[in-house]
Structure 1
């Protein structure tokens, strides 16, 4: 079972309870069959994230209703990679370069201030706040029973 960032707290609690129950049953079982349950939790780290990971998180937030399209625009723009020659955006697939998206947003805020662009400054400020609130949260949870 895979639970993405859009899961609510009660669903996560139920999933973890199920895993713990299976682990308990496996430990207490007298059968010859070994049963096990493992889980893998991936945490959000905006200071070390690929463009694909960031896009996936943004899309999950939108799908779950936690973020609207307007709020996602500054975040999504930071995932774009356009070469200086302007040959079009570099695809995220296969691009494993990692970024500090919080620092990118802060750098963008500095640029917006120097250009007297209050609207961009506010969008980027909101993006920083969003990332800071979500930092360390669950990006995904894989449960194997």
Structure 2
């Protein structure tokens, strides 16, 4: 009997609806795990690309807070003396100018920072393909 072909072998035959649902659920779980791993890899890659911009923003922030206070006060007092303005008016003008310079520097850093997350396109495209596969599987399963 060992050499004969088995008919109605229960190990080969699918379990029907429950087997298909179970298989689909297993495929979805595997797909979700792989999608999570891809997103984590993209996050690591993006953070590595963004590290110089983040470091630059942190250092520039510290330098601007520490140095600008003394510089702005000194410049304002010098302008007040040179232009014969009241010290309060000179402080306001110099403070406004320093805010404009800080805003321009922050704008340049954020442009670099924003482009560092372009690798998430890979995760997004893969996620769209996975959703298309799920839709196709669900629509084709009834046929």
* TM-score, normalised by the number of residues in structure 2: 0.26
More RCO (CA 8 Å, sep 6+): 1
Structure number with bigger Rg: 2
Identify the structure with the greater helix proportion: 2
* TM-score, normalised by the number of residues in structure 1: 0.26
